Structure 1
Amino acid sequence: MSTPGHHKVVVIGGGYAGTLAANHLRIRSDIDITLVNPRPEFVERIRLHQLVARTGEATIDYRTLLGEGIQLVVDSVARIDSASRTVRLASGRALDYDYVIYAVGSTGAIPSSVPGAAEFAFDIAELEYARRLRARLEELPLDAPVTVVGGGLTGIETAAELAEQGRGVTLVCGRTLAPYLSAPARRYVARWLTRHGVAVLEAAVVNEVRPDAVVLADGGVRESAVTIWTAGFGVPELAAASGLRTDALGRLLTDETLTSVDDERIVAAGDAAAPSGRPLRMSGYAAGPLGAQAADTVLSRIAGTEPAVINLAFTGACVSLGRHAGIRQLARKDDTAVNVYIGGRMGAVIKEVTCKFVVSKRIRREAVKPGSMGWPKGGPRPEQPASAARVVPSP
């Protein structure tokens, strides 16, 4: 129940961005904060590949993450009604708001254009999908062939985790293995995968997925007892379904303060935000700062001051290679990789410390001391071709 005279803020999505935003809003004591999430537990998406391989867990009790006074509503959002300022839930309930923080995150994107992919390929981007994949792998003998489609960081981590357990893995990379990494780091990853028996197919495309095989664009057929699709991401359709303008992928179109171009009472954060049609790289790294900045934008509007624009510098990326090796790739502030990386055991240590830092030093610290989070600043906003900023008209 809201308190008279208080501002009502509904945070949609309890991932890295949404959870941190909810905690950050507690800078003010006169805000009633409601966090809406479809699950009763926080999902560490950066550990889902470990969940699949049974080398780690990926859920945390929200009671250990959320600051005092934040109301958690376990439900899905069906629509944001800007006219009446209500968030309508799948259960039929409606939540009134003064401001919304739109932090619905991203999900996997198995293409319907690839025959058999939707029917037979496994996704790993959501907790329920990862659990389904884990159960399927447990049914298979260790020597059953596994295909991972997608040479990005998620595909590499999944392939490496399974290969380290002795599974026979083929990694189909599309164009390039690990495009976010520098050339030296890519060579390191390729060597590690080869040493652990992973068949890396660069410049290869899957044209069809069968129950027991994949068909490549060159006509080759490779046996596959289970096919895992990690190529590409999508976002929930809530923004477009609510009559708000989005980019071509479905991310909420905002200005540089993360405010919706359609409604200044709706502010986006994380993977589902497309500021100026030029979204930042989907990542846990960006989610926390964007969550804090979205909360700051709401706080500024409540205070009647001008919100700040995005100011986030990237420092690189981490990727695990099983439990005993990894890569810490260094990058310029604009997120372009430099030819410097830390590999091996130290790379694995840095990756694990980073995963723990996101939860303990960002989200939990913000719950105890709202406004304490800082992040690297000074990164120029990269330009993107006009085609990347296509806008989907409101229905």
Structure 2
Amino acid sequence: MQMTRRSLLARSAALGCSLAASPLLTPVTFAAAPWDTRLVVVILRGGMDALDVMQPYGDPDYAGLRQSLAGGPAAGAADLDGFYALHPALAPLLPLWRAGQLGFVQAVSTPYRDRRSHFDGQDLLEAGTAGPGEAEGGWLNRLLQQLPGVEARTAFAIGQERMLLLQGGAPVSQWAPGAGLAMSPQAERLAGLLMEEDPLFHAALNEALELTRQDLSLDLGQEDGSSDEGEDMMMSMMTAPKGKAHQEVAAYAAQQLRGETRIAAFSINGWDTHQRQANGLKNALGRLSEAILTLQSGLGPQAWGKTAVVAVSEFGRTVRENGTGGTDHGTGGAMLLAGGAIRGGRVLGRWPGLAETDLYDRRDLMPTADVRGQLAWLLHGLTGAGRSGLQANVFPGLDMGADPGLLL
């Protein structure tokens, strides 16, 4: 049975309404985690501009393509290797870079091309396929189906948005801020007494009530809206998130990963920078930095040392700056890696160049690697999943190629 926060809340609310008619609920147990490393997947919704995050100031064509957005050490970016500079908004992560716990892969992409639609791009990124309809569910769920000993708590989908990434036949847990548990103080007390003989469920009820109090304090709105899903997604990508929800989500992920959970996935919005990118990307990168540092702090040194965080976006952006100080939907992008389990302090990936003849469709950064290959090697190293199963089932039709050496 799938153990989700929503189902727990529904059961607990029902108990509060009719305790006299309710027997003790069936005790819930969780199997030991089937492996010891942790994986956090962060979907950056909206199309992150790889050339502003990892600024290739060493390329002779870069400055001419980015008049107001041109970066590099002269503009306050941190020089990393004499060719790339790190956007100033990621400066809080520089200690991780120096410790070998932060890295990047430049010029990567899914097989998605030409239409540059957020919806299609994100669906292919999370499905892990070369085209629509080639496999059911998401690649993380298909990974879970390949591994022994997986229980619902092994993987968590966190957040208010649909996570195709973890949808499928394998059981997963879910949690989203804003899913409230409305119980009177008397009902809370009675439910607690009823569950007192079951320590696990008693603790779970207390956790749900505490999470609800945190949700109400965040005032993040309802989990389920009545508006169209596509419209909601577009608005969330165009509008920067409010408050510190990204930190709350990251803190909850870290809390679960300290225990039996081994995989967590969530998304951060606000990367669609058509206008005034200098300000919009700064804010988005600030949220990403805070989320990563919250994970590091919440996991603690021991668990962080076994963790890989990977942040990916559906596509990159145009190499040329547009007339409103922004960039438009592109193709090649970048992958960010963090955690004590990665081999960081490096920018990987074959650089394609920024001369017009080097660009994809004479407008975008040319992809030189399939992002699914990088993800597959991460899964192979972290979970022990076999290469044949990764290529045939998790990422159908993928050729993983040579090991890029992303992990220690």
TM-score normalized by the length of structure 1: 0.25
Higher relative contact order (Cα pairs below 8 Å, separated by 6+ residues): 2
Which protein has the bigger helix share?
2
TM-score normalized by the length of structure 2: 0.24
Which protein has the bigger strand share?
1
